């Protein structure tokens, strides 16, 4: 008789109030106090992260800082330390990989883990005991390890699918563990509002409400043919998700990034063209450094400008061949900026994105090889110095102009909102 395959065991690990919690770890005097990350009270910005002490007072993510201050005037407002957040994120992901090699980061503070094949290893290491609830024991062990080694509170959702693990994680927040045993997905989902299902946004929820469909169990009761008549091809996916069915797997091999972006919002709206070009050079420089660190070459560069009235303009151009050199991309960046900055309106944000990646090698003309090799050696030297002594030890190109307007630390110029997107 053949033994049936073990059901999948999927974790979703989510760091609670990530930015705010890291600040409380780095500054122990902030523990127990309402902390809001996103800017100072006087900044024209929104809440990026709020501690649960602040959330209990009504502060929410994306809320304007001025409104957050009215609600919670005694909160500590911080602009944030994005390099510290990236470091905590890397350490959290590395710790998760002790439990399984199948770790798929979804953001800085969130990752899926597939521990389906790890049961025997966990038993050998004494992480779990015998029994069907072993995924719950393993999740709790991981949660306690993150707290012990990194002082991080996390929430873990456990289920046989990514979909249900995500919903279970949301259900268990903050600082909890929720396990939906295989076969119990439908009862778990039944009383929940339809908005918990991916793909049901406000507009779809409004359409469903017209038919008196408000909870997941309401959707399960609708015959598939009737659902398809009103929602078309999406009906089949909705019906499957309402039953907790999700065939997507945890993909630990995400490959290379699709793009590398760097952007920042200014303290005040800028109208000085030279100041914007200096910042664009610095952002491009950071993106090219990441390109070289990842062993990639790019061909396309995009420049983005967001005006004070939030109108956003962007243009792209491509090099004739792939490169990872600042000097190759800068002429395109400056030309694109001239095309997107066309209004007599202040600018609140600028950004640079490198994309269209190719293999780490490029086709060159007969007389270009020597010059390209020399420039590559130059960039290797610059990157090596910065890696050893900090990025700010050298200022190059137009970014030298920022020395008069921006403070620096070992990570580079202190920007109000640094971008860590890939």
Q: Which positions are catalytic?
A: 110
- Residue 355: half-sphere exposure toward Cβ, Cα within 13 Å: 14
Judge whether 49 and 38 are in contact, CB under 8 Å.
Answer: yes
- Residue 235: half-sphere exposure toward Cβ, Cα within 13 Å: 15
Query: What Cα–Cα distance (Å) separates residue 375 from each residue in 275, 294, 328, 366?
Result: 27, 18, 10, 16
d(CA 258, CA 129): 42
**Strand ranges inside 18-75, DSSP E:** 35-37, 49-50
Backbone phi, then psi, for 99, in 5-degree steps?
-90, -30
Q: The dihedral of CA 320, 383, 258, 362: what is its sign?
A: positive
Task: Report the candidate in 230, 264, 278, 304 with the shortest Cα–Cα distance to residue 82.
Answer: 264
d(CA 164, CA 177): 13
Beta bridge partners of 316: 302
Lookup: tokens for 63:
């809320």
d(CA 396, CA 282): 8
How many CB atoms are located within 10 Å of the residue 106 CB? 13
Quick one: 320 exposed, middle or buried, by C-beta within 10 A (0-12, 13-18, 19+)?
exposed
DSSP symbol at 232: T
Which is it for strands 154-159 and 177-179: parallel, antiparallel or unpaired?
Answer: parallel
Q: What is the three-state SS of 313-362?
A: EEEEEEEEEEECCHHHHHHHHHHHHHHHCCCCCCEEEEEEEEEEEECCCC
Length of the chain: 422
d(CA 395, CA 282): 9
């Amino acid at each position: 008789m053949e033994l049936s395959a073990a059901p999948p065991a999927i974790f979703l690990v989510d760091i609670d109030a990530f930015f705010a919690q890291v600040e409380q770890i780095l500054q122990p005097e902030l523990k127990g106090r309402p902390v809001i990350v996103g800017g100072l009270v006087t900044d024209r910005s929104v809440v990026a992260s709020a501690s649960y002490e602040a959330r209990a007072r009504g502060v929410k993510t994306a809320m304007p800082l001025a409104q957050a201050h009215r609600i919670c005037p005694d909160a500590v407002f911080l602009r944030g330390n994005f390099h510290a957040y990236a470091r905590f994120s890397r350490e959290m992901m590395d710790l998760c990989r002790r439990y399984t090699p199948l770790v798929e980061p979804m953001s800085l503070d969130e990752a899926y883990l597939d521990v389906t094949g790890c049961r025997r290893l966990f038993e050998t290491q004494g992480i779990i005991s015998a029994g069907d609830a072993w995924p719950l024991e393993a999740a709790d062990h991981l949660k306690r390890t993150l707290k012990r080694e990194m002082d991080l509170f996390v929430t873990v959702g456990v289920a046989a699918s990514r979909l249900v693990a995500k919903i279970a994680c949301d259900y268990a927040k903050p600082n909890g563990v929720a396990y939906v045993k295989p076969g119990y997905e439908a009862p778990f989902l039944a009383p929940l509002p339809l908005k918990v299902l991916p793909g049901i946004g406000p507009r779809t929820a409004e359409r469903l409400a017209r038919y008196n469909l408000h909870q997941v169990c309401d959707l399960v009761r609708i015959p598939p043919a009737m659902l398809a008549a009103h929602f078309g091809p999406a009906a089949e996916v909705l019906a499957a998700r309402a039953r907790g069915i999700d065939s997507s797997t945890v993909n630990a091999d995400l490959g290379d990034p699709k793009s590398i972006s760097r952007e920042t919002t200014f303290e005040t709206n800028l109208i000085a063209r030279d100041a914007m070009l200096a910042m664009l050079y610095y952002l491009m420089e950071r993106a090219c450094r990441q390109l070289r660190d990842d062993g990639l070459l790019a061909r396309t560069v995009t420049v983005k400008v967001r005006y004070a009235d939030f109108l956003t303009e962007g243009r792209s151009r491509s090099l004739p061949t792939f490169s990872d050199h600042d000097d190759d991309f800068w002429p395109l960046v400056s030309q694109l900026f001239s095309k997107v900055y066309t209004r007599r309106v202040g600018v609140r944000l600028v950004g640079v994105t490198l994309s269209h990646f190719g293999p780490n090698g490029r086709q060159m003309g007969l007389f270009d090889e020597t010059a390209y090799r020399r420039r590559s050696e130059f960039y290797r030297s610059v990157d090596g110095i910065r890696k050893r002594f900090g990025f700010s030890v050298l200022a190059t190109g137009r970014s030298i102009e920022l020395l008069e307007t921006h403070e620096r630390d070992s990570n580079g110029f202190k920007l109000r909102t640094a971008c860590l997107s890939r």
